[in-house]
Structure 1
Amino acid sequence: MPTTDPTSFLQYQYSTKAPNMGTLLTLCAAISSLLLLRVIGIGIYKVYFHPLSKYPGPKFAAASRIPTAWHMVRGNNIRWVASLHKKYGDVVRTGPDELSYINAQGWKDIYGHRIRGKALFPKNPRFFPKPPNGVDSLVAANAEPHTRARRIFSHAFSDKALREQEPLFQKYVDLLLQKLKEMVQGDPQHEHVFDMVNMYNFTTFDVMADLTFGESLQLLENSDYSPWVATIFQNIKATTMMRATYYFPTIEMLLSLLIPKSLADKRISHFKHSTDRVDKRLSANSEHQRPDIWGIILRQEESKGLSLDEMHSNAAGFMIAGTETTATLLSGLTFHLLKNQESLAKLVHEIRSTFSSYDDITLERLVRLEYLNACLEEGLRMYPPVPIGTTRVVPPEGAPICGEFVPGGTIVSMSHYSTYRSAKNFAFPDSFIPERWLDDPRFEADNKLAFQPFSYGPRNCLGKNMAYHEMRLILSKVLWSFDLTLTGNQNWSDQDVFTLWNKGPLMVKLSPARES
């Protein structure tokens, strides 16, 4: 029976009901040990007993998503994945539930049409952040929404539409050449150094803005980026950072706080800028016969099945997918041509000997230039505008990929950069050799089916033909008019990747073309 003395009573209460510090530390240590054992146990399961444990790859990557996220935010993910394929082979486990492929069969199995009632591999929702209005564009949509929207938009990217749109393409490419000539002629030495990344971007953004909004951004006229276009490049990097946080859903909210608010605000600003201009274009009913995207689509009765939100989301998507990527290929191809003078000389000769005048250069005639087309293919192989793998998710019932059954829920992809730089697919994979696309016997063993720069299957790039036409026209008119010399960074293509290449200036000296 405890004493009734108050002090003794308090001492009794503390000693019998409150744990001492040693007990608390022991309890914390026990909980920490249990948590550590759980983490270790889960890691061991993922590495050695998970359904994907038979696939080769780094053990840390099999146990945790940290390596993938780390390389993403550092901008060296494509080279990391390429090094894994070089070490481990055609298929590599890059995460607890992720597989990367470089075998050409992977294009058909992952991205191709499904047969006998089998479901398409859905796009990975964590790879494509939702637009601010919550409605997916063609790039991210799955199943019925994608099929319906693609059928409607296909009219604006058809061969017939491209023929109608040629004057628009010619207008802006001519403006590019006019600006270049004015600046070159303004130099007393008749030569000038340009950042060709900027010049190509000015052109492609002006073209796509006219096609998407019915008005130019006037980048070529002002020779500078508008604030809105400048935010697009920052938006792409922000999207990569957001994608890295998605790998850790339990702490995603906390990690998202590490992304500067300014980047998130720019993403919303980009979307609002697009929607405002789409609304303005749609209100111009008298211009529905104009051969831009909306003019062509609104002629179709089925366009009534396209919601305003879908129009907004797709317009914002076009202003990235149809601009930066085209300018990226032109920049990369220009660099590789200037680093390979023999190839450049062949291409210049083909262009200048085919056309007797600048005005003879048309979309239809450019299609027939064999060496030009070979250079475009080799540029896309060496410097694919989207070098990463766009991920898909294996359906719940699982599916065979490259002859091996893969369980449902697995995230899978074909990495463009890794696939095109693999010696298993291409001879001399790190060398720029356009002749590989012209039946050169040195490259008989090249696996051309592995080359799918515009993706593959029913959800490949809708604007593929437009991109080829635009790239041919811009490059040909530049090379017809000028002799080019690389003056800047000789290792320009050694760049970080945040979904797209993080390009630096491509400084090139332009001189009026000599007789060829």
Structure 2
Amino acid sequence: MVFTSFNWPNGQILPTMSYLALLLAGIGLWIIYQVIYAIYNYFLSPLRQIPGPCLASVSWLPWYRYWFSGYMHRHVHQLHETYGPVVRIGPSEVSFISTAAWKDIYGLKRCRQIERDPKSFPSLTPHGARFDLLTYSPVDHAKYRKILNPCFSEKATKEYEPTIHGNVDGLVAKLLANVRRDSNDKSVRTNVTNWFQWLTFDMVTDVCWGRSFDCVANEKSHVCLALSMDLVSYSSFIVFVAWWRGLKDFLVELSGVEGLFVDLVRSQCEKHHLVAANNELTAEKTKASIYSNLRQAGDPLNLAELDGNLTAIVIAGSETTGFALTATSYYLAKNPDCFRKAAAEVRHAFFSPEEIKDDALRKLPYLKAAIDEALRMTPAEPNGLARKVVVDGGLDIAGQLIPKGTAIYVSQFAANRSAKYFHLPNDYHPERWLGAPKFKDDQLDAVQPFIMGVNVCIGRGLAWMEMRVTLAKLLWNFDWTVRDGDGDAFEQSKAWHVWTKSHVNLQLRERGMIYGEI
């Protein structure tokens, strides 16, 4: 019998059959480990009492299957409808949908007992989220919140209002020109997904540095905006390799996102310095911005911290608000009665669009309800924002003992669409937020689009202003509807950390051209 052989580093020669034996032994040990792992998770794990699919309790394969499909949010929703308000999604991962879970997981009292799970978040901001609001360290997060909170206070947000109006007015002017140009062509549709992403990127960069990137004016995405949209699907793979830190960091570097956003942040800061210096010479007031507020506070962030925090603000501020505007405009188009009510409220409150101010918009209940209901139907973060229990002995979460090391979260899409908490959960009804008797048993506290606790969205006040002003001026100037089939892509959108940008094409016309005088 003839044997081939391998030369090992120490000079010894090992027959091929011995090599194969070692390989088979390794495979056998791996199989034995997996069997023991499965037996432990199913019969002995402290999570064994939590309901869920049998396979999900012993293997991560179902989790990865649904995550990569882009329909994890729908899968988890179905599991909650089957098993109840708490479901075991993986061997060491649990999803909740109850209002009690919101408080127990994200509330202030648990901020040192439950921390962000680094394996569930791709660190796509410069320096791997070590020097910004997205940091996994509670101490560092508290530090950055303290520094940035004044930039998002009610007073500061009010100073940004002229910036918001200027950008929205630019959008309205562009859309009016397009609508009038195409007034005789009934087949023309307006891709509001693109327009809202351009608008919100312009607004957030203008608020950050006092200078817009003119995406709306140019009808074109800035390179950083285009990249951040592509990272939706890319980030899903980053999560898959999160356990291998070196590979994860390499893939983030390979994407080029860090370098692009570092260049963006630093170039805009330099331009702000030049503008501010010129204004000092001419005695002009520098435009209110987040960066100007940081400078007035004594530049409390170093260069790396500026890179990370301003990048996080730009990505989050454009991505989530743009999608919320798309969703709200789509649901209003899909429900003409709701559109008429929202439009009537705005048009009767103001004689001209120039009169529209945010203080007055805050007093319009139906406008707020229309946005609230869109955020319920399609929350910006459809899957859970994972946290991990870090204390020995575990914690009681919504009546369940959760051991240390378990990833836990509230699945927003599943909670917001739960038949247990909402009447007609899959239908758009702003009236449920206005005390309508038909929806008197709805548990509105289950909806937390900006989450809560120490990690509550720092820019929620600014986001609300942007949404109110944008929708009010659009409702004052335009009618819109959606034709059969034009909303299919939106209804079937995939989602990972955020939604994919499925195009919503609306039939947009000047005020009165679709619904008559309202």
Fold similarity call, TM over 0.5: yes
Counterpart secondary structure, 1:497: coil
CA–CA separation in structure 1 for the residues paired with 2:426 and 2:119: 32
Within the candidate set 43, 51, 54, 2:49 is matched to 54
Instruction: Provide structure 1 residue ranges, at least 5 long, that are not aligned to the other structure.
Output: 1-16
1:294 is matched with: 291
C-alpha distance after superposition, 1:308-332 (max 9, x if no partner):
2111101111111111110101111
482-491 or 463-472: bigger deviation: 482-491
Q: CA offset at residue 242 of structure 1?
A: 0.2
| Bigger mean CA deviation after superposition, 390-399 or 472-481 | 390-399
Counterpart-to-counterpart distance in 1, 2:225 and 2:64: 27
1:504 correspondence with 2:495: no
- 1:512–1:52: structure 2 CA closer, same or farther, 3 Å change rule? same
Q: Deviations over 1:303-352 (max 9, x none)?
A: 54422211110111111111111010111111111111111111111111
**Partner in structure 1 of residue 265 of structure 2:** 274
* Matching residue of 1:436: 432
Q: 1:121 to 1:24 in 2, by over 3 A?
A: closer
- Matched with 1:265 is 256
Q: Distance in 2 between matches of 1:108 and 1:167?
A: 36
CA RMSD of the aligned region, Å? 2.5
Q: How far apart, CA to CA, are the structure 1 residues paired with 2:236 and 2:266?
A: 23
TM-score normalised over the length of structure 2: 0.88
Q: Secondary structure at the match of 1:408?
A: coil
8 A contact 1:333–1:383 mirrored in 2: no
**Does the 8 A contact of 1:483 with 1:510 survive in 2?**
yes
Q: Is the 8 A contact 1:232 1:270 kept in 2?
A: no
User: 2:332 aligns to what SS in structure 1?
Assistant: helix
**Aligned twin of 1:149:** 144
Q: 1:195 deviation in Å? A: 0.4
| Identity level (%) | 30
The two structures have a TM-score, normalised by structure 1, of: 0.89
> Relative to structure 1, is the Cα distance of residues 261 and 307 closer, same or farther in structure 2, using a 3 angstrom cutoff?
closer
Query: Which amino acid is the alignment partner of residue 401 of structure 2?
Result: F
Residue 122 of structure 1: SS of its match in structure 2?
strand
**Separation of aligned partners in 1, 2:16 and 2:404:** 49
Query: What's the counterpart of residue 3 of structure 1?
Result: none
Larger C-alpha radius of gyration, 1 or 2? Answer: 1
1:100 matched residue in structure 2: 95
**Are 2:413 and 1:417 equivalent residues in the alignment?**
yes
SS of the aligned residue for 1:393 comes to: strand
Alignment-derived partner of residue 363 in structure 2: 368
Tell whether 2:491 aligns with 1:489.
Answer: no
Alignment: residue pair count: 491
Whole-Å Cα distance in 1 between the matches of residues 220 and 20 of structure 2?
A: 63
CA 1:498–1:274: 2 relative to 1, 3 Å: farther
- Are the structure 2 counterparts of residues 277 and 427 from structure 1 closer, same or farther at C-alpha, using a change threshold of 3 Å? same
Query: Relative to structure 1, is the Cα distance of residues 30 and 187 closer, same or farther in structure 2, using a 3 angstrom cutoff?
Result: closer
**Of 42, 58, 62, which aligns to 1:67?**
62
Matches within 5 A, 1:272-421: 272-282=263-273, 284-286=275-277, 289-300=286-297, 303-397=298-392, 398-421=394-417
Q: Which position in structure 2 is the counterpart of 1:7? A: none
Of residues 99-108 and 23-32 in structure 1, the stretch that sits farther from structure 2 once superposed is 23-32
Unaligned regions of 5+ residues in structure 2, if any? 1-11, 280-284
Letter in structure 2 aligned against 1:124: D
Classify 1:91/1:268 alpha carbon distance in 2 versus 1 (closer, same or farther; 3 Å). farther
Q: Deviations along 1:198-248, whole A, 9 cap, x unmatched?
A: 1111111111111123321111111111223211111232222201222x5
CA contact under 8 A between 1:235 and 1:267: conserved in structure 2? no
The Cα offsets for residues 9-30 of structure 1, whole Å up to 9 and x where unpaired, read as xxxxxxxx99987777666545
Letter in 1 for 2:355: D
The corresponding residue for 1:461 is 457
CA contact (8 A) 1:101 1:414 kept: yes
Q: Which moved more, 1:212-221 or 1:170-179?
A: 212-221
- Residue aligning to 1:14: none
Task: Provide the rounded CA distance (Å) in 2 between the counterparts of 1:18 and 1:164.
Answer: 77
Q: Which of 128-137 and 412-421 deviates more?
A: 128-137
In structure 2, distance between residues paired with 1:89 and 1:508: 37
Specify the code of the residue in structure 2 equivalent to 1:174: D
Whole-Å separation in 2 of the counterparts to 1:182 and 1:18: 80
Structure 2 CA distance, aligned partners of 1:63 and 1:510?
Answer: 51
CA distance in 2, matches of 1:68, 1:380: 25
Counterparts of 1:436 and 1:221, CA distance in 2: 38
> Within the alignment, does 1:128 sit opposite 2:127 as a pair?
no
> What's the offset of the Cα at 1:467?
0.7
